[in-house]
Structures are given as C-alpha cells and as structure tokens.
Chains A and B, each alone.
Chain A
Amino acid sequence: MAVSRREVWQHGTVVATRQLTPEIRRIEFDVEQPLRADPGAHVDVRVPIRGRQEKRSYSIVDATPDGARIALSVYRSPVTRGGADAMNALAPGDRVELTRPLNDFPLRPGASRYLLLAGGVGITAILGMASALRSAGADYRLVYAGRSRGLMAYLDELVATHGDRLSVHARDEGTTISVPQLIGGLTADTELYICGPIRLMDAVRRAWTERGLPPGSLRMETFGNSGWFDAQPFTVRIPAIGLEAEVGPDQSMLEALEAAGADMMFECRKGECGLCEVRVTALEGDIDHRDVFYSERQKDARGKLCCCVSRVVAGAGGPAVVTTVTS
C-alpha cells in the first residue's frame, strides 16, 4: 500500500483555473517533480496569510497518470480560515510551493464492498476513489450530500460516470441524508470512506460504533475546517504566561497563539493527532469541537480542546473567552 507521508516540497505553476460553483474553484498545476497520485492523496500548499506562510492541505481531485499535472479544488466559505482567499487569487503562470502527493487516506483494493460518502467539498477527496473503484470493477456506492445541487462541485460528471451507483442528497430538495439508515443498511464487509463536515463524520462514527461494525473499516479524511457553528472571533487567555490573544474568524486558535508568541506543540494541524491539546480552566460561551481526536464523552466534558481546529463560540449575547493551560 502506497502510504506516502514524507513531505517533499517543490514548485508548481498554475496552468488553469475554473469556478465550479459560487464557492468552489478548480486550480490546475504543473509540478516540478511529478509523482503518481493515488486515490485519497492530498498536497500541502504554502499560502500567504497575513504576511505569514501557512500550510494548507487540499485533496488531489484528479491528475495525469504520471502526476505531472494535478487539479485541486478550493472551497471558500463565507467565513474562511484565510487560505482560500490566497488560493482563489491564483492565476495561470503563478508559482506556489507545494508538496509531492501525500496520502493519509489510501484506498485499499480488494474489499467486497465500498461505500464512499462525500459531504460538500469533501467530494474532492472521494472523487478519485470513485474513479479507481469503477475502473477496477469493484462493488461500490457513492453518496454525495450537499446543500443544493448548484453548490455541489463535479455533480454532472459524477452523474454521467457513476449512474445508478451514485445517490445525491440535496438539503434544499428535502432529501437530507439519514445517517442511521445509511449505516444501518450496510453489510459487515463494507469499507466506508468518508470526507465531509465534522457533523456528518461524527454522526457516521456514532452510528458505526453503535452497530458494532469493524473499526478498521471506517476511513475518514478530515481537513479540520468545518464546525458545528460558523467561525467567530473569540479571546484566548493563558494566565501562566500572561498571554491574551484575539482569534480572528479566519485563523485558528493555534495560529493566533503562535502569532502572539506562545511556544506551541503540534503535529497534524487538522484535529487528528491530539498534540496541540490545551486544558480549559474557564469558559465563557461554548466549545465548537472540530477534531476527531476526542470521543464524544471527552468533548462533552469541555475540559480540553484541540486548538489547531476547535473554536469557542459565544452564548446568546455573551462573550466568547477561553482560559487555558498549555503543555
């Protein structure tokens, strides 16, 4: 299994861009050091945000067989973390620094059945898997959920390619996905690959666990950029080092603490590893846990949070302030 986790940085040159939906833009790059991109692969891109080079991860939607040209798709939410603005501004001829393909979400060939589940822009991580499974003649279903067909990227080509294997759920058509029904109908030999908003992934994980399906058969890709609430500004305090920082809606708490001079520990920066954990000693408002590291029990306890992705939201009319102890 090609599990590529070693970061090799290179340059890529933008060769084409195209607006797919009002919120999602496709950007194609020619890269210096081509490497075949297996399904599930992503690249990390260095993007300038507030004068700093921040790293953002984007799934490879498709690529030429030799990997010389890769396509990414960038989602710009109304309240963005800032990476999308810089990416959306790219035009043909622009050069960026990006990694060779990395893969934390490899597709395993040979399963009896597959369910691919994409929510919104999560389709970017799933689309290549669907193509690969189709080529391999595998038994797969693709479930694609979104707010409205007009906001769902690549929908027409997915319909054309996957036909009956694809089911589309659009909230504005009242066909919202029923997770318990979806997971309840699976056979035990199904492998599920999911990329989507944290709400969807949490619901799937809960249903999966409740049904006692094999934990190894549920595969998730999360870029840690969606929450239960829209991002809003909040205040973080670390009394032990006399630090107080404002976290803007377009930056993470980790980034704000780093910018304020705190010496932070971290690894994945997408809510998976748990290394950026901070302990909460006081809270005004509530925590919007956006990680997949903590269990529901731990999230409900509100004692700790993964500051790379999780945020604080205000209660009605109140402030949003978290007081913490860092490692």
Chain B
Amino acid sequence: MKGLLTTPLFWLALTLVVFEGADQISRRSGRHPLCHPVLLATPVLIGLLLLTRTSYATYWSGTQALSFLLGPAVVGLAVPVWAQRDLIRRLALPIGLALMAGAITAVVSAVGVLALFGAPHEILASIAPRATTTPVAMAVAQQLGGVPALAAVIVLIAGVIGAMTATPLFNAMKMTDYRARGLAVGVSAHGFGAARAFQVDSTAGAFASLGMALNAVATATLLSVLALLL
C-alpha cells in the first residue's frame, strides 16, 4: 500500500478530486475572489503532502502533465486578442499608452515596495511579473531567476485584491468610462479582473480581457529588455 503514495496516478487523481471540491465551494460562493479554487485547493494539497511525508518532487512528477497544458494555453491567448482587432485598431494609441504606463507602474511599484523590505533577488524576480496572467508570470519569473510557485501565488493575491477593490476605487475616482475601468482592471489584475469586469459591464469585460492578454506580452517583453540591460 505504501508504494501507492509515490505513483503519479495517485497524486494526479487526488489533485483533481480536491480541485473539484474547491471549485464547488467557489461556485456556491458566487465565484467570490477569496474563494478561488486554487486558493482553497493548494493549502489542502500541501497539508496532504506533509501528512503523508511525500516530497514535492514526487508530487510534481505525478501532476506535471497538468502544468504542461499552460504552454499551449498561453499561446492560445492570441485568439481573443485577434477577436478584438477592430477595437485595437480604433483605439490603438490610447490602449497602447495606457498599457505601457500600466505595465511599467506594476513592475516598478511591486519591486520597489518589496525592495524596501530587503527581499533578495529571487523574491523580487518572483513579484516583478505580478500583473500578468499566472502561467506567463511563472515562466517569466523562472527566466529572471525567481520562484515560479511564489510568482503563481503573488499573481493570485493581486487578482483577489484587484477584483475586490476595482469598483469602489473607480467610483471614488469618478471614472465613468467603462473602457478605461475594464482595461485598467485587466492590465492590473489579469483573469480575476476580467471576470469581475464582465459581472459589472460587458464593455468593461471586453476591455479587461484585452488588457489581460496584451499585458501578458507587454510585461514579459518589458522584463526581458530590462533583464538584458541589467
């Protein structure tokens, strides 16, 4: 029986079961950002690994097949961008300028504040891509010498914060243009922001998903250039 805990099948099956349970809770909460299935499932799985004294390497060997799908999923982000080509053409300059400003702000402010706490390079590299969608953040963090797991969790936290604060923040700013609101929440809080934006307004949702996809490319490019220069 003991050998079962080290088979790939066991951990893959368990991950799916735990995730499905977490997803049920998330659905019942009306998709509240704090009940995101990854936020619920991850601590449970970590607990199970600790309880069974299983190493992360064993867990990873069983579940990396799931992780592999992230690559084609990232490539596939080109499809929604292409679908919004008319929007991009019509508003190329405002979208481009806002995207650049947002991407730079996200990187500089995140790394800047964390540096004040004296964090070492690998932690700073993990937070630098925090505004991109999770798979891109993980890949970029790895390229920069960061920790993909940390990058994934930081991106999730950013998503929760963005999704919960966007509406009150923009109302306080008297920002009435739903194109600006959507784009901003997509650039800053990726998929979480887009999901939230679609709940508020369909124009905001379209701009948010555009902001998310474009910022994945913008931030990755920005950080690559920085990495080459520094």
Decide whether A and B are members of one complex: no
What residues make up the interface of B, taking CB atoms closer than 8 Å to A? Answer: none
What residues make up the interface of A, taking CB atoms closer than 8 Å to B? Answer: none
